[in-house]
Structure formats: structure tokens, C-alpha cells
Structure 1
Amino acid sequence: MINNNIKPTEGEMEILQVLWQNGRATVREVHEALNKKDSGYTTTLKLMQIMHEKGLVERDTNQKTHIYKALVNQDKTEKHLVNKMINNVFNGSAARLVMQALGNHKASADEIEEIKKYLDSLK
């Protein structure tokens, strides 16, 4: 479970997304997946080293190329961050968060259908 004192930065969240999707990855693989033109390999390396120190990722050093894996659970991390956002930005209103999200981003027909099904299941 994510430690409440550990708050992944935006850059750390991008790296975690790559690790959650791939399971394990080298710094080079993460850097290439991020496809950041304004950021160099050494920036990605330093950020991942910091994440290791913070306990967000583990590093396997048994091979020449270090392999990283997320230590924090994706679902728990997302829930933690959404709860913080609801409380800190939307004054505790999940409805305001959802309306803002749907107002700012065009949801696909499939996503809208999935949302409707979820809302129906809450009734």
C-alpha cells in the first residue's frame, strides 16, 4: 500500500504507468516509452533512482542492466490520489470531480456506456 507520506510527482506517475503496463523495465525502456523529447536519458535515470529511494520501485541489480518494477499497487495508488484530489480540489464532492472530468475530456461511446452501467450498479 502506498505510504501517505509518499506523493508521486507527475513525472513519477508517468514512470509508474509504464512499469504497471510492462511489469518490469530498464531505464532505457521506460525512457523510450515516455518518448520525452525535452528530457534526456539521465533525467529518467535520476528520477527512477529517486523513486527507488522513496520506495516506489524496486531495482534488480543482478544483471548488468538494472531492471525496475513498481512496488506500489496501481489500483491503491490511483484510489489514494483520487481521494486526495476529491478532498483537496473538489471539497469532498466526487460528483464535481466526475462532472469536471467529463466536461474537460470527450468520453467515447463505450466509456459512456461503461459509466452508465457503473452508475446503475450503485442504485
Structure 2
Amino acid sequence: MAPLPDYRPKQLSVGPLEAEILQIIWELGSATVKDVHDRILSDPNRELAYTSVTTVLRRLTDKGWLACDKKGKAFYWRPLLTKQQAEMIKAHEQLQRFLAVGNPDVIAAFADSLDEASSNQIEAIAKRIQAARQAREGK
């Protein structure tokens, strides 16, 4: 498993349209406003102004999710993190918030409510944590 990336967006939260556009950028690798707009409008039931796409791309850039490069007269947006890296960062943040509760009774109540598959998954995670800890101590 890859380690957590060093880079973090300035703001992790994204709205539904931001998430949709970020997904399109991940799929395309790099895209212009027109590329994203055309992809959204490929659904005949969707309407979205070109300027709205531009606004969302700029917002994602300001939040630290995208970078914008000028090539000739066109601007291309590209992701600063892969989708997998973004998922890792978000999961890490959620885990940190969960652990910040700090009340063992709350965490135990949560653990008691898990089904067998979830319990097995938690046990597998605990084993990986232990192996990583032993590897660090062995260095």
C-alpha cells in the first residue's frame, strides 16, 4: 500500500458539482473548460452554463485540487492528486476525527455494532498496523 501523499489540498471538502468535475478531470487526465462542459452536456437531461464550469474549475484550483496550465491560447486543468491519493487523504482525515472522540466507551460501542465482515476487516487492518509498527522498530 502506498504511503499517504505529502501534498494535501488546502480544503478537502468539495460539493457535488465539484466532485463530478474532479471525477471528469481524473478520467481525462487534463482538460479544458470545453472538454468538461461537453462531457457534462453529453447527458441530454443536464443543463449547465459554460461559465459555471469555469467557476468550479477555478474554485477547485483555489482549494488545491487542480492546477491550471496555459498551452497556446487554451487553459488546461490537471489534478494535483490521483483519485486513490485523494481517497487515502479523506479516509485518513475521517479516521483522525473518529479517534479524536477519545472516549473508549464510544469507540467500543462502535466496535460492538460491527457485523462479522466489518470486524474481520478491522482485524486485518490491526494486523497491518502491527506489521508496520514492527517494521519501523526493526529499522
2:101 alignment partner in structure 1? none
**1: CA distance, partners of 2:54 / 2:10:** 24
1:28-107 residue pairs with structure 2 within 5 A? 28-35=34-41, 37-82=46-91
- Select which of 28, 34, 41 maps to 1:22: 28
SS in 2 for 1:58: strand
String of CA shifts for 1:52-103, please: whole Å, max 9, x gaps. Answer: 2222111111321111101122112123335566767xx986968x99xxxx
Match in the other structure for 2:12:
6
1:28 is paired with a residue whose SS is helix
TM-score by length of 2: 0.55
Instruction: Supply the distance in 2 between the matched residues of 1:56 and 1:77 (Cα, whole angstroms).
Output: 9
Distance 1:9 1:85 in 2: 17
Query: Does the 8 Å CA contact 1:2/1:73 hold for their aligned counterparts?
Result: no
**Structure 1: gaps spanning 5 or more residues:** 100-118
Give ranges in structure 2 of 5+ residues lacking alignment: 1-6, 99-105, 128-139
Q: TM (normalized to structure 1)?
A: 0.61
Aligned-residue Cα RMSD (Å) equals: 3.2
Quickly say closer, same or farther: Cα 1:62–1:44, change in 2 above 3 A.
Answer: same
User: How many corresponding residue pairs?
Assistant: 99
